[in-house]
Chain A
Amino acid sequence: MPDDETTPTSEDTPTSEETPTAKETAAAEEIAAEERGGDSPAEFLAETAPETVAPPGAPLLSVRDVTLRFGGVVALDGVDFEVRTGEILALIGPNGAGKTTCFNVMTGVYKPTSGRVEFDGERLSGRKPHIITRMGIARTFQNIRLFPEMTAEENIMVGADAHHKTSVIGALLHLPRHGREERDGRRTAAELLEFVGLEGRGGELARNLPYGDQRRLEIARALATRPKLLCLDEPAAGFNPAEKERLQQLIRDIRDLGHTVLLIEHDMRLVMGVADRIVVLEFGQKIAEGPPAEIREDPRVIAAYLGVPEDAA
């Protein structure tokens, strides 16, 4: 960040101090907020948006004919679809259809039995998780997995560190980059906290946040890695309708920042309200793909998944 050196934050937080107290963080956040002069998300696009993005509409991630077997269970069976830059794609399907598994293949947790996954023109399988993150994929978990004993701010800074380079020698000798990156991390944290609606909570331990806030913090942490593609696995699980409403807005905001979003969710109101396109899996196979309006009417999807459309009403 070229203007870092001149921001007031840099003077307020000497690098050698220990992690700032809640008060300090709050102050830093205030300053950061003032500096932006408002809440408009467009202002910190620069902070979290990916550096280079393919033109909108071009395939960002493609799943090509992926099959995955666990012993006798065929979890994925020739699944083939793509996520396009700038869209919100929802992945839905009955329980055990293979959505989470598909996710895990995409993020490098599982290696497909056959087929391949390409991201931004590069092959993904076989790469280490941290490399995949640096390539631009971030995710949240079906069961929350924050660093419970770290503060909200620290959680986000860990995400921001994905693009930092300070290592042992730098930290040991307090090289200038170390200070610069620390300041950058704090600023990213402050901005993202505000973005997801957690302003002022940077100093709290993650484990002490209410459930909904933890979900939001997880999203903020993922955003801090500046992902091109953000993958959300059932982010609305355990939310009530009003909260889902808020989440829906948040997901839209994220897309507006320039991130592509892949969403697994069982709540049809949320999915239909936010997704640009939907891919439907059943028994490990893709049975439909298209815009929400189309999917809603697709008889196969209704039979396999939606059932009587009472729920969507």
Chain B
Amino acid sequence: MLLEIENLDVHYGRIQALHGISLSVGEGEIVALIGANGAGKSTTMRAISGLRRPSTGRITFGGEDITKMRPDRRVVAGICQAPEGRGIFSGMTVQENLFMGAYTRKRGAQLNADLDHVYMLFPRLKERRRQPGGTLSGGEQQMLAIGRALMSRPKLLLLDEPSMGLAPMLIAQIFQIILEIRDQGTTILLVEQNAQQALSRADRAYVMETGSITREGTGADLLVDPAVRDAYLGVA
């Protein structure tokens, strides 16, 4: 397993957001994490990236214990996140934002090739290359956040609701891109409200409720699980 989380507790102030969750992500997998608002999905992501320190529990990455590692070290180790809310550097241009994604990498031809790749995936970004990130529309910012995460060439890519705020057509495209990235060898942990889409692409998935993991299984299994259908897939 590439990423392993054991028994993680995370608090916000006196509020406990995660109650002893354990999950794992294997090399080359797409793992989805679904759950209602406030279930603790983003908190889990933040804990993996090191933005939140767990009060108990252990996180290992590639066999190494990273529970106490600084967030910037984790990036070097190969974990990169496109966070919820996008976290665009609003004063930097689109291109500078993308270069920030490659902050820990060496400049060179490889980097420029990756840049071109991102521009190919999102032509809109290329158009807006010199526009400050803060003036992009919501959806454009989402593209930028994903593109930026790709620029770090992570071993493990964390995507927190990548489809949020995207137009239907783009959503389909994003999921297509996710599959492509995986095929190029990147492991992906995906948080999604769009459970239908997420589960149908994921190798495995976890369901979170009020800070705990209540169910896990392959994407296909969960997709047909009646309780999951009832709660997350809507009545359609």
The answer to whether A and B touch directly, with their CB atoms under 8 angstroms apart, is: yes
- A contacts, CB < 8 Å to B: 70, 73, 93-101, 142-143, 208, 210-212, 234, 237-245, 266, 268-269, 305-308, 310-313
Contacts of A94 in B (CB 8 A): 139, 167, 169-170
Contacts of B169 in A (CB 8 A): 94, 305-307
Does B161 sit at the interface, judged by CB under 8 A? yes
Cβ-closest chain A residue relative to B232: A240
A-B contact pairs, 15 of them (CB 8 A): A95-B143, A98-B137, A234-B138, A234-B165, A237-B164, A238-B37, A238-B161, A240-B232, A241-B232, A241-B233, A244-B234, A266-B165, A266-B166, A308-B172, A313-B236
Q: How far is the CA of A268 from the CA of B171 in the complex (A)?
A: 12
Min C-beta distance of B3 to chain A, whole Å: 24
Cβ-closest chain A residue relative to B231: A242
Binary interface encoding of chain B residues 141-176 relative to chain A, with 1 for a CB under 8 A from any of its CBs, else 0: 011000000000000000001001111111110000
Judge whether A143 and B195 touch: CB under 8 Å: no
Judge whether A96 and B139 touch: CB under 8 Å: yes
Q: How far is the CA of A259 from the CA of B231 in the complex (A)?
A: 30
**Given A211-B38, A243-B37, A305-B169, is A95 in contact with B195 using a C-beta cutoff of 8 Å?**
no
Does B93 sit at the interface, judged by CB under 8 A? no
**Given A100-B138, A245-B234, A269-B234, is A240 in contact with B168 using a C-beta cutoff of 8 Å?**
no
Min C-beta distance of B203 to chain A, whole Å: 21
Judge whether A93 and B135 touch: CB under 8 Å: no
Q: Which of B38, B167, B193, B232 has the most CB of A within 10 A?
A: B167
Judge whether A96 and B124 touch: CB under 8 Å: yes
Q: How far is the CA of A136 from the CA of B193 in the complex (A)?
A: 33
- Classify the interface of chain A: helix, strand, loop or mixed: loop
Judge whether B164 and A95 touch: CB under 8 Å: no
Contacts of A310 in B (CB 8 A): 172
Q: Which of A95, A100, A266, A308 has the most CB of B within 10 A?
A: A95
Q: B180-214: which have CB < 8 Å to A?
A: 193, 195-196
How large, as a class, is the contact surface on chain B? Answer: 35 or more
Other A-B contacts than A95-B142, A307-B169, 18 sampled, CB-CB below 8 A, are: A94-B167, A94-B170, A95-B143, A96-B124, A100-B138, A142-B165, A208-B15, A211-B37, A238-B84, A238-B161, A238-B193, A239-B37, A242-B231, A242-B234, A243-B36, A266-B167, A305-B167, A305-B168
Judge whether A307 and B168 touch: CB under 8 Å: yes
Q: How far is the CA of A166 from the CA of B61 in the complex (A)?
A: 60
Does B21 sit at the interface, judged by CB under 8 A? no
Q: How far is the CA of A70 from the CA of B130 in the complex (A)?
A: 13
Contacts of B233 in A (CB 8 A): 241
Q: How far is the CA of A99 from the CA of B139 in the complex (A)?
A: 11
Cβ-closest chain B residue relative to A268: B168
Does B85 sit at the interface, judged by CB under 8 A? yes
Which of B34, B37, B137 lies in contact with A95, CB distance below 8 A?
A: B137
Q: How far is the CA of A242 from the CA of B193 in the complex (A)?
A: 10
Q: How far is the CA of A216 from the CA of B90 in the complex (A)?
A: 28
Does B131 sit at the interface, judged by CB under 8 A? yes
Cβ-closest chain A residue relative to B143: A95
Does B92 sit at the interface, judged by CB under 8 A? no
Does B2 sit at the interface, judged by CB under 8 A? no
**Given A95-B165, A210-B38, A242-B231, is A307 in contact with B172 using a C-beta cutoff of 8 Å?**
yes
Q: How far is the CA of A70 from the CA of B140 in the complex (A)?
A: 16
Contacts of B143 in A (CB 8 A): 95
Binary interface encoding of chain B residues 124-140 relative to chain A, with 1 for a CB under 8 A from any of its CBs, else 0: 10000001000111111
Q: Which of B124, B168, B195 has the most CB of A within 10 A?
A: B168
Min C-beta distance of B199 to chain A, whole Å: 12
Min C-beta distance of B229 to chain A, whole Å: 10
Judge whether A241 and B37 touch: CB under 8 Å: no
Q: How far is the CA of A237 from the CA of B141 in the complex (A)?
A: 14
